[in-house]
Amino acid sequence: MIITEVLARNSRMYGDEIALIERDPSKGTRVAITWKEFDDIANRTANGLIAKGIRKGDKVIHLMMNCLEWLPSYFGILRTGAWAVPLNFRFMADDIRYCAEIAQAKAILFGEEFVERVDAVKGDLEAISDYIFLGPDHMLPGYAEDFNAFLETGSAQEPPIPLELMDEAALYFTSGTTGTPKPILLTHRNLESACVVENRHHNQTHEDNFLCIPPLYHTGAKMHWFGNLIVGARAVILRGIKPRWILEAVSEEKVTIVWLLVPWAQDILVAIESGEVNLEAYHLDQWRLMHIGAQPVPPSLIKNWKKVFPHHDYDTDYGLSESAGPGCVHLGMENLHKVGAIGIPGFDWECKIVDNDHKELPTGEPGELMVKGPGVMKEYYKNPEATGDTLINGWLLTGDMARLDEDGFIWLVDRKKDVIITGGENIFPVEIEDFLMENQKIHDVAVIGIPDERLGEIVAAIVQPKSGQEMTEEEVLKYSGALPKYKRPRRVFFGNVPRNPTGKIEKPKLRKKYGGFSESLKV
């Protein structure tokens, strides 16, 4: 069932029940809408866009911070038959211009946080004829229409636009942390598959409540919420990531499922350990599942989490925007004994580990992970060369190095481009990062290769100690003595570990900052 039809069904079946709640602890606000109101806003958005000339196959940019209107307006775009084009809220003006030009977008919905960036490129966006603004009246640009006034122009009746599963639905741009953002074209079938896979993995029922914290422009957060959408279960959109705010939301809204990124889970444990938050002040018995995705998960983190929350189910979810978000691989709530692995093929997915010639490798040998399933993207839009390099006979090359163990579980080794080659040996940074995260003084860590005249590259660790902890380079090097000699860091730097909004370490930034520290060292 197309996800816009799922929304319409929820409106009919659960119309008066709460669908979405937005909490903004920094402002002390809480607002909510029912499934009927959700559906009505989507229809008014769709009909308003249609009245402006938006037709099936057109593209509409969606540029908002997480808010109550985010999902209804996204569904409204889909109901026109146009492609929704959600953009990363970190994109600068030049990125917005680039994405708009690639998409040849005809309209843009944007929030108050983006006025300056849109102002800067408006003169270059000749294809865009309509600007719809979500924000306070005093910030409304002269060239834009107020979102609430725009909604009043559209009927609350569902527009009679026929949609098919194989129709194009959305254009997602990669985060751009490794270069120019690539446009990923997803179909309605891709989006539908995410609903089914997520629900099969985490067993959401109508009584569940999902806490959404990550940015909705990304496939991860939204596709996890899809598991609630398909059963008409409510969700909470939390604007803020402080541990106290997360626990308050879980307690006060009776949240049952929370998807976290590694740094947020770490912060919660640190806040509990330091006494910043007192668990006895919250009602958390109904919280049944904590799951993490978007990045490798240190096993030590989950061990520590289970000490504090022994009754929680736990799952690791792996995926890409090219696979319509998480779910092509998952650990499984029943496989806690395999923490550290990303897991087994997800529901309706296949996986294999291949060499550079795409030949399947034997158990234990590292190679590139390939996946095949209903979530695989249609293409990299307007980039046939990249599409041809990535889609091989229906299989998606992920760019991630992995290995298969004797029990059939997949272990992520590292990003293919992040492999460090030192003295002819391949080193996978995530293995060293997991090892260093076992140190009780370390809050976060990143491992990169930096140039070396003799060895080609050497291992460097960027260490972010826990608040109040002091560490020295000698201390880190001594701790690393338990590693094989060729895997030990040769340089140690102390500083913050930059992560993008989905929790991935921004290693290009670290290479740029620390890559100049090269010197030949004795092995």
Per-residue model confidence (pLDDT) at position 179: 57
Per-residue model confidence (pLDDT) at position 457: 79
Cα of first residue to Cα of last residue in the chain, in angstroms, is: 59
pTM > 0.75: yes
Torsion of CA 85, 90, 91, 93, to 10 degrees: 120
The string of pLDDT tens digits covering residues 307-337 is: 999 999 999 988 989 999 889 999 999 999 9
The string of pLDDT tens digits covering residues 437-493 is: 889 899 999 998 888 766 667 899 999 998 888 899 999 999 998 887 878 899 999
Q: Which domains does the chain have, with CATH numbers?
A: 32-186 (3.40.50.12780), 419-514 (3.30.300.30)
* DSSP E strand boundaries for 135-277: 145-146, 168-173, 183-187, 209-212, 234-238, 257-260
Whether residue 410 contacts residue 363, with contact meaning beta carbons closer than 8 Å, is answered with no
Per-residue model confidence (pLDDT) at position 135: 96
The string of pLDDT tens digits covering residues 61-72 is: 999 999 999 999
Q: Can you say whether the dihedral through the CA atoms of 61, 66, 69, 71 is positive or negative?
A: positive
Per-residue model confidence (pLDDT) at position 113: 96
Number of neighbours of residue 28 by Cβ within 10 angstroms: 7
Which residues have a Cβ under 8 Å from the Cβ of 359 and sit 6 or more positions away?
none
Nearest to 63 by CA among 13, 21, 116, 25: 116
Per-residue model confidence (pLDDT) at position 177: 42
Q: Which residues of the chain have pLDDT under 70?
A: 175-179, 294-296, 414-416, 423-425, 453-456, 501-503, 516-523
**β-sheet bridge partners, residue 367:** 402
Number of neighbours of residue 275 by Cβ within 10 angstroms: 7
Angstrom CA distances, 73 to 77, 150, 248, 442, 462, stand at: 6, 11, 27, 41, 41
Per-residue model confidence (pLDDT) at position 294: 64
Residue 438 Cα to chain centre, angstroms: 25
